[in-house]
Structure 1
Amino acid sequence: MNKVARFARGSGLRAISGLLTGAVMMAVSALSGQAEAAQDHAMAAQGGSAGRTCTRLQVPVALTQGATQDHEIAADLCVPSGAVRETALVTIHGVTYSTLYWDFPYEPERYSFVRRANEAGYATLNFDRISSRDSSRPVSLQVTLTSQAYIHHQLVSALRSGEFGPAFSKVVLVGHSLGSVLSLAQSAWYGDVDGLALTGFLHMVGAGFPIGLLNLVPAVTEPRFASLGLDLGYVTTRAGARGSTFYHLPNADPAVIAVDEQNKEVLSLTELAEFPVVASPLVSLQVKVPVLNVIGRHDALFCGLTPCGTPLSGTSTEPLAYGPAAELEQVVIPSAGHDLNLQRNAPVTYAAILSWLERRFP
């Protein structure tokens, strides 16, 4: 990429032995306890935009190697005003979401991971994946997990080279749901990042996964997308389905779910078709950098038959999907569903991620 177009605004504003399973569960319990203990301190942190500078970017990208950069990714690069760590974080949202998942507009002092990371000294690149919100919306057949991973590789390359301003020697992907799958694919295929903080994903699916698929409808049938000219290969969630699909409702604010519904985005059916292969151990076993996996105890999409953190859940078998180089660590967040950032105890998740980053990339 030779140019980053239009810096439009600057504002103050990713069958195991019993011994190994036991060790992993001990790590889950210990790290969850550390995260809960840090919640009070984290909630006391300043949530405003003071102390950082955010720049809106429109980044030209190609969908495939050798193609022209005729599409754009909308992104916000936020850099702390004081001492900046050498490790930058790239946040990658999941299906039917956008940058707002990581930088939520409602009560951001509680629900914005980006602000919390900036307060901890990390620069963040938070972007709308291709076809979401302010990024380009190609024909749905062009939007695949393979093309998404290649686009993300271009963004990381530009971040490392200083094309957006500051250059960073280390980059960690902080993903959610499909953003976690794409993080694994990017690391496995391009080897261009130093670590992965994955949230809302396990290699085992739960009972809520097929129900979630049944709640997908053509995006053109929803008023929010009716005027965008999208083809029938784009889908979104059925009106009113997000609460039961993505949240542990006893610990969710109805106002958050309402804002979520108002800002929902789309998914291409081609992405969905690739999911079984890209989200398999065939990809994750190729990862050679440290991996943190954070999951909600009541994530109905991925925990399996029992709540996450219990012996028969997906957290027990997850280590089988990674090689030794990943040094997998797992954290189970209590009273949380799939959308960890949008539960009332979101700061517990932020504290777990930032604690891992501090240990791995001090």
Structure 2
Amino acid sequence: MKAAVRQLVTFAAAAAAVTSLSTGPASADDLDGADGLLGASPALSGLPLLENGLPELPLSVLQNPVGSTGQTDTRNFGTPTVARGKVCPFTGNVPVDIPLVNISAGSSLPGLGGYTLDQPSVPSSVYSELCMSEKTYRDARAGKAPAVLVLVHGITYGTWYWDSPYQPEKYSVVNDLVDHGYATLNIDRIGEGRSGHPLSALVTPDTNAETVHQLITKLRGGEIGGTKFGHVGLVGHSYGTITSWLETAKHNDADMVIGTGYGNRFKLDQGGLLFSGLIPAALQPNFPHASWKFDPGYLSFRPGARANSPFFYKPNTDPALLTLDEQLQSPVTATELGLFLPRDYDGTHKNIKIPNFIINGEHDSFFCGAGDKECANEASQQATPQELEAAAANQTAYEAPGFGPQACLRTAVIPDAGHNINLHQNSDQVSAQIIYFADEAMGVTGQNNQQYRGSCVTRDEGLSDLLPDLTRVIPPATNLLPVG
């Protein structure tokens, strides 16, 4: 009963903030007093409150001001973060074309390879940050280009998910990858952050995939930062994994793909609870004044909904990241939400012909099956990448029917983490897992890719690999969790 009352207070406080019915900001105790959310971080006490009751982080944690002109979101997202030995030879908006209709001709989907057809489109741009170490950059200038990893975030996020401006020495995956020798292209997906915000109806799973395809093509052609990258890997999170898998199924133009925070069976009950926390973007006080905000197809989470969602496993989350998550959120379009699910069932992912690795959080209530049992394991926060992969046998077996043999599917589960695995205290395990697989399947200069792809196929492709996945027609369910 007490929990139910607390959730009701949470909803009422958030709703009051959005509709301006309250006489003042909601208090932090109203929002989550029983969990002691803010008490766990004394450094946050005394800060001014956001409209959802969480403290507003000082600008000192956001290291860099917004740079280039023409951006549609003028907030300071704090990226790229500053780190010793890190250089970013390109930051800014890359021109892309947004297809007005989805035409798969010319892609690698069955029956369409080799056929091309002009696609009507509208111009837009994708904000991108190309970074690498000073040594790697010197090598690139000398004609020895590193492999580059394109980092694709999930819905309502942006570059900061991969390159956290809060304690980047702990939470920045970009900096870990750069230190290891990879280049990274960290982007705001179309319709998010500093990228273009076209008509919301044009922001779909397919247009997300096509814009990422254009970025890969530009990287290989030397059109971003002046380096021709011969080896490109895709790393997605949540909707960024949807984007990366769809781009790969259509074009298979990367060397490998890593999907985090996603799987082939999205739990509709959990998704329904999460999406019930959405409001029109025009009602989101954190968004800038821009024309796209009043497009009814652009949506946002109401204040308070994110911190109390399966995005986070609170026992292992720094409360400061919850408030940063609230401050820096981006919108999502109704078309993105309405069109993504069929790809999990129609066999599209079986056309992934490059090595694929999945990394999920142990407490990801969206993708871990009924009762989250498919991600359950005994691994610890001290486990090595090899140990985390070995402990994920249940998840591998659970996801395997959605892929063909050339995907060579492997998986790992991050212990004590919710959906947003990068934003938990053991974020270093995420970076280590990405590096572990990227090194095996590609290598920092792409030196391992050909051999790995030639040796990892375990069986011949059969008829079932060309058909929709009918092994689990009914989506899994779980105990309902409160959102907001």
TM-score by length of 2: 0.63
* Structure 1 position 218, deviation (Å): 1.3
Name the residue aligned to 2:213: 153
Q: For the residues of structure 2 that align with 1:151 and 1:279, how far apart are their CA atoms?
A: 21
User: Among 273, 281, 289, which residue is 1:211 paired with?
Assistant: 273
Name the residue aligned to 1:53: 88
Name the residue aligned to 2:128: 75
The question of whether the paired residues in 2 share the 8 Å contact of 1:303 and 1:315 is answered with: no
* Structure 1 position 313, deviation (Å): 7.2
* Structure 1 position 297, deviation (Å): 0.5
> Which runs of structure 1 show a deviation greater than 3 angstroms over 4 or more consecutive aligned residues?
65-69, 83-86, 310-316
Q: For the residues of structure 2 that align with 1:281 and 1:201, how far apart are their CA atoms?
A: 16
Say which SS state the counterpart of residue 375 (structure 2) adopts.
coil
Name the residue aligned to 1:223: 285
The CA deviation string for residues 335-354 of structure 1, in whole angstroms up to 9 with x for no partner, is 00000010111110110110
User: Among 424, 428, 433, which residue is 1:352 paired with?
Assistant: 433
Structure 2 counterparts to residues 273-312 of structure 1, below 5 A: 273-280=338-345, 282-307=347-372, 308-310=374-376
Say which SS state the counterpart of residue 70 (structure 1) adopts.
strand
User: Among 295, 306, 315, which residue is 1:242 paired with?
Assistant: 306
* Structure 1 position 101, deviation (Å): 0.7
The CA deviation string for residues 295-334 of structure 1, in whole angstroms up to 9 with x for no partner, is 0000012212223434997654211101110111110110
Specify whether residues 211 and 313 from structure 1 end up closer, same or farther in structure 2 by C-alpha distance, changes over 3 A only: farther
Percent identity (aligned): 34
The CA deviation string for residues 75-96 of structure 1, in whole angstroms up to 9 with x for no partner, is 1011221146632100000001
Name the residue aligned to 2:165: 105
Say which SS state the counterpart of residue 243 (structure 1) adopts.
coil
Specify whether residues 89 and 310 from structure 1 end up closer, same or farther in structure 2 by C-alpha distance, changes over 3 A only: same
The question of whether the paired residues in 2 share the 8 Å contact of 1:59 and 1:75 is answered with: yes
Say which SS state the counterpart of residue 236 (structure 2) adopts.
strand
Say which SS state the counterpart of residue 105 (structure 1) adopts.
coil
Q: For the residues of structure 1 that align with 2:405 and 2:202, how far apart are their CA atoms?
A: 35
Specify whether residues 201 and 341 from structure 1 end up closer, same or farther in structure 2 by C-alpha distance, changes over 3 A only: same
Q: For the residues of structure 1 that align with 2:174 and 2:219, how far apart are their CA atoms?
A: 17
2:411 matches 1:330? yes
Say which SS state the counterpart of residue 244 (structure 1) adopts.
coil
Say which SS state the counterpart of residue 131 (structure 2) adopts.
strand
Name the residue aligned to 2:152: 92
Name the residue aligned to 1:193: 254
Specify whether residues 238 and 279 from structure 1 end up closer, same or farther in structure 2 by C-alpha distance, changes over 3 A only: farther
The question of whether the paired residues in 1 share the 8 Å contact of 2:396 and 2:410 is answered with: no
Q: For the residues of structure 1 that align with 2:425 and 2:98, how far apart are their CA atoms?
A: 37
2:317 matches 1:252? yes
Q: Which has the higher strand share?
A: 1
* Higher-RCO chain (CA-CA 8 Å, sequence separation at least 6): 1
User: Among 216, 232, 235, which residue is 1:171 paired with?
Assistant: 232
TM-score by length of 1: 0.84
User: Among 321, 333, 348, which residue is 2:402 paired with?
Assistant: 321
* Structure 1 position 52, deviation (Å): 2.8
Amino acid at match of 1:161: G
User: Among 55, 76, 98, which residue is 1:63 paired with?
Assistant: 98
Say which SS state the counterpart of residue 300 (structure 2) adopts.
strand
Say which SS state the counterpart of residue 209 (structure 1) adopts.
helix
Specify whether residues 54 and 347 from structure 1 end up closer, same or farther in structure 2 by C-alpha distance, changes over 3 A only: farther
The question of whether the paired residues in 1 share the 8 Å contact of 2:125 and 2:195 is answered with: yes
Between 77-86 and 319-328, report the one with greater CA deviation: 77-86
Amino acid at match of 2:129: D
Listed as ranges, the gaps of 5+ residues in structure 1 are 1-6, 14-46
Specify whether residues 63 and 275 from structure 1 end up closer, same or farther in structure 2 by C-alpha distance, changes over 3 A only: same
Q: For the residues of structure 1 that align with 2:299 and 2:84, how far apart are their CA atoms?
A: 34
The CA deviation string for residues 135-165 of structure 1, in whole angstroms up to 9 with x for no partner, is 1111111111111111111100000111111
Aligned-residue RMSD, C-alpha: 2.4
User: Among 203, 207, 222, which residue is 1:143 paired with?
Assistant: 203
The question of whether the paired residues in 1 share the 8 Å contact of 2:300 and 2:331 is answered with: yes
Specify whether residues 219 and 51 from structure 1 end up closer, same or farther in structure 2 by C-alpha distance, changes over 3 A only: closer
Specify whether residues 324 and 68 from structure 1 end up closer, same or farther in structure 2 by C-alpha distance, changes over 3 A only: closer
Amino acid at match of 1:256: L
The CA deviation string for residues 7-66 of structure 1, in whole angstroms up to 9 with x for no partner, is 959xx96xxxxxxxxxxxxxxxxxxxxxxxxxxxxxxxxx82424334212111100164
* Structure 1 position 68, deviation (Å): 5.4
Specify whether residues 313 and 244 from structure 1 end up closer, same or farther in structure 2 by C-alpha distance, changes over 3 A only: farther
The question of whether the paired residues in 1 share the 8 Å contact of 2:265 and 2:344 is answered with: no
Amino acid at match of 1:309: C
Q: For the residues of structure 2 that align with 1:119 and 1:52, how far apart are their CA atoms?
A: 11
User: Among 171, 175, 184, which residue is 2:245 paired with?
Assistant: 184
Q: For the residues of structure 2 that align with 1:317 and 1:325, how far apart are their CA atoms?
A: 17
Amino acid at match of 2:424: Q
Specify whether residues 349 and 55 from structure 1 end up closer, same or farther in structure 2 by C-alpha distance, changes over 3 A only: same
User: Among 324, 327, 351, which residue is 1:262 paired with?
Assistant: 327
Between 244-253 and 304-313, report the one with greater CA deviation: 304-313
Q: For the residues of structure 1 that align with 2:397 and 2:211, how far apart are their CA atoms?
A: 33
Between 83-92 and 118-127, report the one with greater CA deviation: 83-92
